[in-house]
Structure 1
Amino acid sequence: MPTPSRTRERIIAATLRIIGLNGVAAVTNRRIAKEADVALGSVTYHFATQHDLLRESLRSFVTQETRRFTDLANHHCTGPITPQEAGAFVGQAAADTAFDSEHIAPFELYIQAGRDPQLRAAAAECFAAYDQLAASILGTLGVPDSERIASSVVALAFGLQLRRLATGAATDDLVDALLLLMGSPPPEVR
């Protein structure tokens, strides 16, 4: 039998899959329980309301993603690197991010936060975590005013990732835009 924390994790993972596949409107306790392979009562035991479930699902995703990006940055940024090397790293990290249902779900949840004030605080926390991560990486790169431009970098990355999701485009636009924002010209020829 799964532990309470493992059951909670399974419920969150199932919720993200459902949202990514069919949107927030498809989230029901019965569907979550089936997808997570848990008892129906487990959903309401761990999450009193759907707002609690959506909020914690978004936070969980962002915690995992920031940990993944931090680990990648720590692994690849062991010493000084050029903006072009950083751009190549970001491009590779973006290309390696599959747009499976769990990676589509946060976009759905951020849109839902625009409709639902109860999710806005969680969305703000999530963007603050991304901003902090971006500022840290930019600071390591020696980018001036890294704290000040971090939110612009995050907004640019999100917008271009959304564009990539919607169009199937490559990551070239993301790399070029980030290099321009950091004050480095993008490569002329690919």
Structure 2
Amino acid sequence: MSEPAVVAPARERILQAVLQVIGSDGVAAVTNRRIAAQAEVSLGSITYHFPTQSDMLRDAMLGFVTDETARLTELAESYRDRGLSVADAASLTQQVVRDLGWSAERLAPFELYIQAGRDPSLQAAAGECFAAYDTLTVTILEALGVPDARTVASTLVATIAGLQLRRVATGVPQDVSAAILRLVLPR
């Protein structure tokens, strides 16, 4: 006898549906009816869990970044005691970026960051997302012995995000490793 499938709680299914819809069709496509249908929840569940659309968008953005930061932190920790050089870390980052599948859920944060420029209620959440990436970057750079890691972290995060956006827009893989090395290694 097989085990019954485990169904995620309604709130999690709603947030996954939000990312899927945004990544597929943009923020404008997010309607309560569409999200309810995609998440297989009642229409009332949407408003129960998220009083406003901004609440739903904010929580979807924060949830994605929390999961992504945990995944990247785990990866960084797995290499912490291996004696990586900055060049090794740059190559590893290039590999991670290259191997990322560009699913709708991975496109959604770019859409949400742009939406934060239009909707001030999302700006604090976008700030939290970038702060999480900055903190992770500082941790990795400090572990590698990069001097003044805090001063370069946000530039490095912006560079990687920009190169990923360029990859999404053009379909052409970008050389993240070279950009990292240019930013963090002394000349």
- Structures share fold, TM-score greater than 0.5: yes
Report deviation, 1:77. 2.7
In the alignment, what sits opposite 1:178? Answer: 180
In the alignment, what sits opposite 1:8? Answer: 11
* 43, 46, 61: which one aligns with 1:58: 61
In the alignment, what sits opposite 1:84? Answer: 87
1:110 aligns with 2:113: yes
Report deviation, 1:98. 1.1
Are the counterparts in 2 of residues 15 and 57 from structure 1 also a CA contact under 8 Å? yes
Report deviation, 1:184. 6.5
How far apart, CA to CA, are the structure 1 residues paired with 2:94 and 2:82? 19
How far apart, CA to CA, are the structure 1 residues paired with 2:186 and 2:103? 32
What is the count of residue pairs matched by the alignment? 183
1:150 aligns with 2:157: no
How far apart, CA to CA, are the structure 2 residues paired with 1:10 and 1:22? 18
* 31, 40, 43: which one aligns with 1:40: 43
TM-score calculated relative to the size of structure 1: 0.92
SS in 1 for 2:82: coil
Gaps of 5+ in 1: 186-190
Write the letter of the residue equivalent to 2:132: A
How far apart, CA to CA, are the structure 2 residues paired with 1:72 and 1:82? 15
In the alignment, what sits opposite 1:188? Answer: none
* 11, 22, 25: which one aligns with 1:22: 25
Query: Structure 1 stretches (4+) deviating beyond 3 angstroms?
Result: none
**Identity over aligned residues, as a percent?**
52
Report deviation, 1:66. 0.2
Are the counterparts in 2 of residues 80 and 140 from structure 1 also a CA contact under 8 Å? no
SS in 1 for 2:147: coil
Report deviation, 1:48. 0.3
Farther-moved stretch of structure 1 (88-97 vs 16-25): 88-97
1:100-136 residue CA offsets vs partner (Å, 9 max, x unmatched)? 1000000000000001101000000110000000000
In the alignment, what sits opposite 1:94? Answer: 97
How far apart, CA to CA, are the structure 1 residues paired with 2:122 and 2:26? 15
Write the letter of the residue equivalent to 2:185: G
* 162, 170, 174: which one aligns with 1:159: 162
Report deviation, 1:71. 0.7
Write the letter of the residue equivalent to 2:180: L
Over aligned residues, Cα RMSD in angstroms? 1.8
Write the letter of the residue equivalent to 1:37: E
Write the letter of the residue equivalent to 1:31: R
Write the letter of the residue equivalent to 2:183: L
